[in-house]
Structure 1
Amino acid sequence: MTTPEHEPPAPQPADPEFEDRVHRSSAGIAGGVLLLAIILWLGIDALVAGEGRTPWLALAGIILAVPLVVAFTLRPAVYVNADRLRVRNPFRVIVLPWGQVSGLRSGYSNEVLDRSGTKYQLWAVPVSLRGRKRAARQEARAAAVDERGAGTGRAGGRTGGALGFGGPGRGQEARGDGPIRAAGDRFMDDLRELREARENAATAQGGVTVRWAYEIVGPALAGAVVLAILIALG
C-alpha cells in the first residue's frame, strides 16, 4: 500500500517589510484635548447643578459633541508601510495599496487619488500656509549662509525625510542640496517617493477598501436625535 504524498502547505502572505509609520497632527491633538476638557467641565456642571430640562440637554449635548470633537481632532491619522497607505479620517478609514494610488496632490489640502480617480483628503496632514512661508524664509537664510560659507567648504545640514523606508528618502540631510520644506510638504514628498518605489511591488497590489467609523457616527447621531427631540418638546 503506497503512502500518499503530503501536499506542500499553502504559501502565507509575507509580512510587510516595514512596520507602520504613523503621522498625526500634534496641533489637532492638543486642540482636541482642550475642547474635550471644556465640554466635559461645562457639561458635568450642568448635569450636577442644572434644573428642569437642563441636565437632559447637557447630556444630549455631551453625547453629540464628544464624538465629533474626537473625530475631527484626535482620530485623524495616516499609517504608512511599504505595501499600503491607510488613511483614518473623521468618519472613514481608507486602505489603499500602493499599486492603487495614482497620485498625491497638495493644494489647499493634501489628497491621495486612486486609479479610479476618487480622491481622499488626508485630514491628519493639514496644509499650513504659515509653515510654508516660514520654510521659505528659512530657505532664504540658509541660501545666504551657504553663499558665505562656500569659500570655507562648510555646508549647512538640513532636515531629513519623514518616513525613512529603506534608507534616506527625499530628506535634505542625506542630499544636502534640497530646498527647505514645511513639515506637511516634506511628508507628502516622502509619500510620493515611496509610492514611486513600491507601486509595482507584488505585495503592494489589491483593492481599495473604505470602512465607515460607526463608533463615531452612531453616538453622534444618537445625541443629535435626543437633542432635537428635547428642543422640539420645548
Structure 2
Amino acid sequence: MTTVNDRIYRSPMALVGGTLLLALAAWLGIDAIVNGAGRTPWTALAVLLLSVPVVVAYTLRPAVYAGEDRLRVRNPLRVVVLPWGQVASLRSGYTNEVVAKSGDRYQLWAIPVSLRGRKKAARRDDRRRAEQEAAASGKKVRGGLFGSGMGSLGHEGPASTLNDGPARAEGDRIMDELRQIMEARGQAATAQGEVTVRWAYEIVGPVAAGAVLLAVLLALG
C-alpha cells in the first residue's frame, strides 16, 4: 500500500499581500479608534469588523491539505473534505478545481493559476529543446556567463536543463502531485466516505456584525 505524507499547499503571494493589508488596516483603524472624535471610533471599528475577516478569508485562509486518505480544501468561505475515493478528477484551466464523483466542483483558491508562470515554463521548454537539438547535432550551445559553449557555472556544452523533465508552472506542478496521490490512494479502503462541506462561520459572523454596525451608524448620520 502506498503511503502518502501529509502536504499543505498555500499561495506565498497571497500570504504576503494579506499580511501587508492587515498591517495597513490595523495601523489606520487603531489610530482612528484611539484618536478619533465623535462617531469616528465606532465607524473605524465597524470597518475593521467588516474588512479584516474578508482580507483574511481571501489571502491568509485558503489552503489545500493533501493527506493519505482525504483532500481538505479550505476556501475563503467554505471547508470541503473529500476522501480520495470521492475525487473524480483534478482539473486545470483558468482556475484549478477538484471534481467530486457526484459532479460537484470546488475551486482550489490556495493553488492559483499563473498564466505568466505557464508562459515562462513554455519558454524553458523551448530553450531545452533547442539545447537538445544542438547537443544531438554536436553543436555547442551559446549562453551562460561566458557565451560560446559555457553554461551558467562555466561548464562546456549544453546547460544542465538537458536532463530535467518538462518545465511546469508551480500551480500545474502541484496539481500533478495531487493527481498522483489521487491515483495512488483512490481505491484504498480508508480513503472512502462522504464529501462534507462546512461554511466558515468564523468569517461570516464578524463580517455580518461589521456590516450591521456600519449600516446603523450610516443610518444615524
Map 1:37-52 onto structure 2 (within 5 A): 37-52=23-38
Structure 1 gaps, min length 5: 1-15, 159-175
Deviating more after overlay: 58-67 vs 186-195: 186-195
Contact 1:149 1:155 in 2 (8 A): no
- Superposed CA RMSD in Å reads 1.9
**1:233 lines up with 2:220 in the alignment:** yes
Question: How far, CA to CA, are the matches of 2:220 and 2:37 in structure 1?
Answer: 16
**1:217 lines up with 2:204 in the alignment:** yes
Secondary structure in 1 aligned to 2:174?
Answer: helix
Runs of 4+ residues over 6 Å off in structure 1 = 152-155
In structure 1, what residue type is equivalent to 2:168? Answer: R
Q: Which residue of 2 aligns with 1:56?
A: 42
Structure 2 gaps, min length 5: 140-156
TM-score of the superposition, structure 1-length normalised? Answer: 0.81
In structure 2, what residue type is equivalent to 1:219? Answer: P
Secondary structure in 2 aligned to 1:137?
Answer: helix
Contact 1:99 1:198 in 2 (8 A): yes
**What is the number of residues matched between the two proteins?**
202
TM-score of the superposition, structure 2-length normalised? Answer: 0.85
**Could you give the per-residue CA deviations for residues 39-83 of structure 1, whole angstroms, max 9, x where no partner exists?**
111111111221111111001101111111111000100000221
Contact 2:50 2:209 in 1 (8 A): yes
Identity of aligned residues (%): 65
Question: How far, CA to CA, are the matches of 1:197 and 1:154 in structure 2?
Answer: 36
Question: How far, CA to CA, are the matches of 2:21 and 2:119 in structure 1?
Answer: 28
Contact 1:146 1:156 in 2 (8 A): no
Q: Which residue of 1 aligns with 2:179?
A: 192
Map 1:170-185 onto structure 2 (within 5 A): 176=163, 178-185=165-172
Secondary structure in 2 aligned to 1:87?
Answer: strand
Question: How far, CA to CA, are the matches of 1:87 and 1:156 in structure 2?
Answer: 37
Q: Which residue of 2 aligns with 1:116?
A: 102
Cα offset for 1:155?
7.6
Secondary structure in 2 aligned to 1:210?
Answer: strand
**1:96 lines up with 2:70 in the alignment:** no
